[in-house]
């Protein structure tokens, strides 16, 4: 390793949806920027997250429509799913997204890319392969990886993660899914539609444990109607077997479930272990996430952490907003904070769940007086016309101010429609503003009129 330091104005570790745009923006300012990436450019979103999963979900939805075409009065001869073509289509989308970032490095006024692992050797000094780098500003955007639970025997079986399952070129005969959160549910429905038998094992008493019970129950019904078996309160205590026959033991051993493949979808863990953060003064919490303040500054001066690695909401759009906060505060004279941002998100099941703001149970936990609005999708004309009536719309309102505290839309286009309510929250206006709005007929958004009319004190 060279003893001479390469000096930069800024070093960005990790090319996720926070680090990539930050490094490019700084380089365009004329700063000398190093971007360090040990894997593929684009981070989780492009390579193993949003882009590939939503591409495959679209293929699975076409398979579902073909199988169920008679529901819309269409006679279709359904052919078998060609997983090799599905995987190839997915990979083409990934490579196209990655290419865009690859074209934005190593040119004039562009970040200098180092393809290697980074570790700190001092407060603002890094070893990257045989090179040593130094900078007054360092930005950590190393993301997260699948968290693997400590279950007896799990390490002895060929389990899948959200990354490896997307490389399968065959449809698993019977997919066991450990975890009923966002990742587990999206893959469960996807592979059921590809043709797998699917069993979900969820440790808590409901899927999507952070959501309100009525929302989780409704989505549970959707899954069961598609033939997905869901075991709630299922604590897996032992795993054994090999691919083709993997057996999970539940609880005290009185019940077992056997399938051909096992997907572990039990959360994420931050990629901080190999960074040698102890040499910097950067603090991490008990789970290994970098501790930051509301401006994303770490406990070490001159070091910031963006994206999943800082333990904030694990969504791509939040990683990008982390970049906006850091860049705005450092270079645009703004005073941006994570404490005041509004976080909309979606679970990309079918129907999708769009969510913004507080759930009912969180609002009740704060002791607020509430008004609630709730309507089934069967009362939305466009949903009836599309024959996609599963789900419901729900609004949580502060009874004293009529301001919207939160909303959930589980229904066709719920991921899109909820953003109208997100705008209402950003504008800090009462729900009654939309009560008097004119909606295009027939649209899914028109259901908001009925939702506003249903709001009542509780």
Quote the CA–CA distance of 12 and 304 in Å, as a whole number: 10
Quote the CA–CA distance of 409 and 225 in Å, as a whole number: 19
Quote the CA–CA distance of 49 and 380 in Å, as a whole number: 32
What are the angstrom distances between the C-alpha of 205 and each of 148, 187, 208, 225, 352? 21, 20, 9, 19, 21
Under a CB-based contact definition with an 8 Å cutoff, are residues 189 and 230 in contact?
no
Under a CB-based contact definition with an 8 Å cutoff, are residues 344 and 426 in contact?
no
Check if 441 is active-site.
yes
Quote the CA–CA distance of 102 and 24 in Å, as a whole number: 11
Quote the CA–CA distance of 384 and 378 in Å, as a whole number: 6
Under a CB-based contact definition with an 8 Å cutoff, are residues 133 and 11 in contact?
yes
**Who contacts 256 (Cβ-Cβ below 8 Å, separation ≥6)?**
247, 248, 249, 250
**Who contacts 340 (Cβ-Cβ below 8 Å, separation ≥6)?**
none
Tokens of 98: 């990655």
Quote the CA–CA distance of 303 and 11 in Å, as a whole number: 10
Q: Are strands 353-357 and 345-347 parallel, antiparallel or unpaired?
A: antiparallel
**Who contacts 62 (Cβ-Cβ below 8 Å, separation ≥6)?**
none
Quote the CA–CA distance of 325 and 310 in Å, as a whole number: 14
Cβ burial of 86 (10 Å; 0-12, 13-18, 19+) is buried
Quote the CA–CA distance of 184 and 103 in Å, as a whole number: 34
Q: Are strands 5-8 and 392-398 parallel, antiparallel or unpaired?
A: unpaired
The secondary structure of 112-145 as a DSSP string is EEE-S-EEEEETTEEEETTEEEEES-EEE---EE
Phi, psi of 398 (to 5 degrees): -75, 120
Containing H/E element for 355? Answer: strand 353-357
Catalytic residues: 441
């Amino acid at each position: 390793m060279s003893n001479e330091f390469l000096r930069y104005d800024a070093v960005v570790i990790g090319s996720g949806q926070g680090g990539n745009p930050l490094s490019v923006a700084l380089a365009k300012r004329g700063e000398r920027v190093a971007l360090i990436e040990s894997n593929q450019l684009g981070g989780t979103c492009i390579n193993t997250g949003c882009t590939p999963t939503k591409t495959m979900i679209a293929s699975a939805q076409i398979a579902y429509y073909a199988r169920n075409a008679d529901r819309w009065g269409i006679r279709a001869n359904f052919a078998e799913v060609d997983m090799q073509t599905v995987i190839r289509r997915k990979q083409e989308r990934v490579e196209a997204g990655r290419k865009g970032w690859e074209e934005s490095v190593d040119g004039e006024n562009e970040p200098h890319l180092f393809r290697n692992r980074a570790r700190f050797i001092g407060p603002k000094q890094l070893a990257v392969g045989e090179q040593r780098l130094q900078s007054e500003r360092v930005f950590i955007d190393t993301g997260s990886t699948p968290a693997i639970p400590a279950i007896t025997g799990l390490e002895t079986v060929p389990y899948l993660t959200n990354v490896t399952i997307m490389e399968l070129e065959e449809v698993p005969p019977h997919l066991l899914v450990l975890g009923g959160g966002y990742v587990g549910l999206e893959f469960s429905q996807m592979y059921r539609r590809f043709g797998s038998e699917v069993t979900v094992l969820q440790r808590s008493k409901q899927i999507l444990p952070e959501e309100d019970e009525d929302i989780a129950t409704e989505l549970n019904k959707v899954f069961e109607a598609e033939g997905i078996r869901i075991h709630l309160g299922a604590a897996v205590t032992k795993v054994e077997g090999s691919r083709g026959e993997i057996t999970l033991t539940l609880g005290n051993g009185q019940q077992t479930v056997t399938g051909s493949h096992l997907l572990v979808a039990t959360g994420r863990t931050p990629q901080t272990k190999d960074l040698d953060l102890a040499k910097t003064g950067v603090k991490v919490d008990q789970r290994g996430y970098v501790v930051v303040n509301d401006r994303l500054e770490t406990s070490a001066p001159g070091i910031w952490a963006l994206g999943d690695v800082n333990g904030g909401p694990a969504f791509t759009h939040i990683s990008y907003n982390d970049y906006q906060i850091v860049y705005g505060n450092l270079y645009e004279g703004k005073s941006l904070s994570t404490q005041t941002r509004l976080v909309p998100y979606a679970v990309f099941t079918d129907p999708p769940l769009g969510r913004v703001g507080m759930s009912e149970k969180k609002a009740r936990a704060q002791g607020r007086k509430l008004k609630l609005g709730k309507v089934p999708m069967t009362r939305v004309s466009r949903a009836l016309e599309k024959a996609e009536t599963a789900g419901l719309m729900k609004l949580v309102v502060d009874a004293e101010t009529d301001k919207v505290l939160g909303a959930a839309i589980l229904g066709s286009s719920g991921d899109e429609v909820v953003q109208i309510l997100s705008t209402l929250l950003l504008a800090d206006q009462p729900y009654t503003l939309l009560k008097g709005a004119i909606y295009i007929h027939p649209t899914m958004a028109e259901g908001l009129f009925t939702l506003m009319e249903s709001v009542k004190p509780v």
